[in-house]
Amino acid sequence: MTSRRPLTGAFIALEGGDGAGKSTQLEMLAAALRRRGLVDTAGRPDLVLTREPGGTQVGQEIRQTLLHGGEVAPVAEALLYAADRAQHVAAVVLPALERGAVVLTDRYLDSSIAYQVEGRGLTEAQVRGMNAYATGGLLPHLTVLLDIDPKEAALRQAASGGPLDRMERAGLGFHQRVNARYRSLMAADPERYAVVNAAQPPEVVHSQVLASVMAILADLGLAELPGSARRGKHARPAGARVAVAAAAGHAAAAGVTGPAAQAGAGQPGQGLGSGGRRVAQ
């Protein structure tokens, strides 16, 4: 998937297991950025708040099937998530990034890796390969991982009293495996992640999420931070705007699994995965 125009916006994903508070934190983050008068490169307020699955009309139908329908075979489930993501990227994310917007998404690629690999038994190469094709290798500038013990998350969900979807009903063992995979993804590519302890009070979590996001926006020239705070742990090369992986290169390596297989992790052009990515000009 090749964009017709330069991608001048910022792409930020919130990830974590069910019950981590992603939706709440995404709304708090969006409100804080709006209060700060966030503007795009054309000087217009432009902040896109979206989610997966369900960020498009097609995606809403897929979401209904995935979360509230009957049982779905593991490969079919993974392909449906990839189809939702393909439509989401094409119809929402890429157009927004082309016009210089900041895109905040509740879930993205890492959810598929965590849930379909650890939860459903697919290989990481299978999941990465289908998603590389679906998205053209588009990766967020920053992924905020809301980390919480699955037992604590389950208690939160029980206390809320709301109905559980098909994923939320999958059981503690399932969610423990998912949580472990999220942590392994972060460990393999720490420069792309900000990890926040989601067991803290929501206001504390929000302050830490906001600090990480403001740092990357400042680095991209979409927000200003005073003094040395502008360049920090999330620094990217001058002129960098969005991280894109070479989907064809990854597909060729579809027989290789796990972070250790990414021999060039952290270097440009190594494909979709743990650190290897090239920057769109």
pLDDT in tens, 90-123: 999 999 999 889 999 999 999 999 999 987 889 9
DSSP state of 119: I
**Can you tell me the distance from the alpha carbon of 235 to that of 233, in angstroms, rounded to the nearest whole number?**
6
* Residue type, position 202, single letter: P
pLDDT band at 42 (very low <50, low <70, confident <90, very high): low
* Residue type, position 21, single letter: G
Count CB neighbours of 167 within 10 A: 17
**Can you tell me the distance from the alpha carbon of 262 to that of 264, in angstroms, rounded to the nearest whole number?**
5
- Whether the pLDDT of residue 277 is over 60: the answer is no
Segment among 23-37, 148-162, 220-234, 263-277 with least mean pLDDT? 263-277
Q: Which domains does the chain have, with CATH numbers?
A: 10-279 (3.40.50.300)
pLDDT in tens, 55-69: 999 999 998 998 888
Cα dihedral: 213, 216, 222, 224 (round 10): 90
Read off the pLDDT of each residue in 195-215 and give the average, rounded to a whole number.
96
β-pair partners for 193: 143
Read off the pLDDT of each residue in 6-22 and give the average, rounded to a whole number.
93
Read off the pLDDT of each residue in 1-6 and give the average, rounded to a whole number.
62
Cα dihedral: 152, 69, 81, 155 (round 10): 0
**Can you tell me the distance from the alpha carbon of 232 to that of 243, in angstroms, rounded to the nearest whole number?**
17
CB neighbour class for 55 (10 Å; exposed up to 12, middle 13-18, buried from 19): buried
Residue 80: the pLDDT is 95
Q: What pTM, to 2 d.p., does this model score? A: 0.77
pLDDT band at 155 (very low <50, low <70, confident <90, very high): confident
Residue 39: the pLDDT is 59
Residue 264: the pLDDT is 26
- Whether the pLDDT of residue 188 is over 70: the answer is yes
Count CB neighbours of 120 within 10 A: 19
Instruction: Say whether 271 sits in a helix, a strand or coil.
Output: coil
Segment among 161-165, 183-187, 248-252, 266-270 with least mean pLDDT? 266-270
Full 3-state SS string of 76-113 = HHHHHHHHHHHHHHHHHHHHHHHCCCEEEEECCHHHHH
CB neighbour class for 224 (10 Å; exposed up to 12, middle 13-18, buried from 19): exposed
